[in-house]
Amino acid sequence: MKSKPRLVSGIQPTGKLHIGNYVGALKNFVALQDSGKYECFFFIADLHSMTEYFTPKEKIKQIEDVALSYLAAGLDPKKSTLFLQSDIPEHTELAWILNTITPFGELRRMTQFKDKSDTHPENINVGLFAYPVLMAADIILYDAHAVPVGEDQLQHTELTRTLARKFNARFGKTFHEPKPLLTEVPRLMSLDDPLKKMSKSRPAGCLFLDDSPDEIRNKIKRAVTDSGRDIVCDPVNKPAVSNLLLLYSSIAGIPISDLEKRYAEKGYAEFKADLAEIVVAALLPFQKKKKALKKNAVRKMLLAGGARAQKIAREKIKEVRKKTGIYT
């Protein structure tokens, strides 16, 4: 039997997941897993998350939270390999080797690095700078063909392709060049400012996956809208309502054009009230499942996934060591 193409993605354990993470990434992870077309690897990018300020105790909770969110959203350890990045030291070993072929200038151009350096000038660490190199290692270590991510990660996946190509040119064909997979909502905007991406670093504009039904209703009610009263998708002139339409369409699985027709004669209040109920209903099963899951089963599950991932990682690193002439 021909083996399936591999798919790799990860989420950082840095705080509560929001609905942007869901419609841009997590929901797609589940759909791709269930499509049966890929051999799926989903991990928790704890080493990446150390580039931002954290406390050790809180980190363990955040890792457990992402693991439980993976399971509650529908990732299934029988269908996908779920693991913790730091359990596989091959990621950091490959990242070091890739560091040595990564041009400094390429990393300096990375928007995420520039954004995070601007928001946290007190913590511009070398890890933050080299972050995309570790991400490249996460991906090409498994010869991934596809990488489902949100739009903010495109620059990093492009660098991943560059590094795979560069390594291959210098040391002989070793890595596959992966392609990013985007959803229809690759960049959900903030509820309080439709010109800014919904982001954990700006909690006021986030709908969190763990928000209660009333919090969801209130946040959507308060979400900013545009001038005029038409409910149409026009991202340039009506960024706020377009963003809400995209969210509605993604969660309800209804094309935008149908929604525009449905709300043609209706006002924002009714549209927002319906959207809120759609989101509440979509998140309820997730929230119930997450509450019912046992935290103490998480470590064992991640170790089991890690053992599967490491077999592949170890073989690849052997090849890399041989190709680069590391004395073994």
Could you give phi then psi for residue 264, rounded to 5 degrees?
-55, -40
Which of 12, 85, 160, 249 binds ligand AMP (CB under 6 A)? It is 12
From its phi and psi, is residue 172 left (phi > 0), alpha (psi between -120 and 50) or beta?
Answer: left
Contacts (CB under 6 A) with ligand TRP, residues 47-76: 48
Residue closer to ligand AMP (CB basis): 152 or 177: 152
Contact 54, 15 (CB under 8 A): no
How far is residue 38's CA from residue 181's CA, in Å, rounded to a whole number? 13
What is the SS3 assignment for 152? helix
> Can 200 be counted among the known catalytic residues?
yes
Q: Is 116 a catalytic residue?
A: yes
Q: Please tell me whether residue 153 binds ligand AMP under the rule CB under 6 A.
A: yes
Our finding on whether 86 is near ligand TRP (CB under 6 A) is no
| Identified catalytic residue from 16, 59, 200, 289 | 200
CB 144 within 8 A of CB 41: yes
288 classed as catalytic? no
Pick one of 6, 7, 10, 302: the residue that binds ligand TRP (CB under 6 A).
10
Q: Does 120 bind ligand AMP (CB under 6 A)?
A: no
- For residue 146, what are the CA distances in angstroms to 100, 139, 142? 25, 9, 11
Q: Which one among 8, 21, 51, 138 touches ligand AMP, defined by CB under 6 A?
A: 21
How far apart are CB 13 and ligand TRP at their closest, in Å? 10
197 binds, among ligand TRP, ligand AMP, none (CB under 5 to 8 A by kind): ligand AMP
One-letter identity of residue 147: V
Q: Which of 197, 238, 272, 290 is catalytic?
A: 197
Q: Does 62 bind ligand AMP (CB under 6 A)?
A: no
**Percent helix, percent strand, percent coil in the chain, to nearest 5:** 60, 10, 30
Residues found near ligand AMP in the complex (CB under 6 A) = 11-12, 20-21, 24-25, 149-150, 152-153, 186-188, 197-199
Report the catalytic residues.
116, 197, 200
**Residues making contact with ligand TRP (CB under 6 A):** 8-10, 12, 45, 48, 135, 138-139, 147, 149, 153, 156
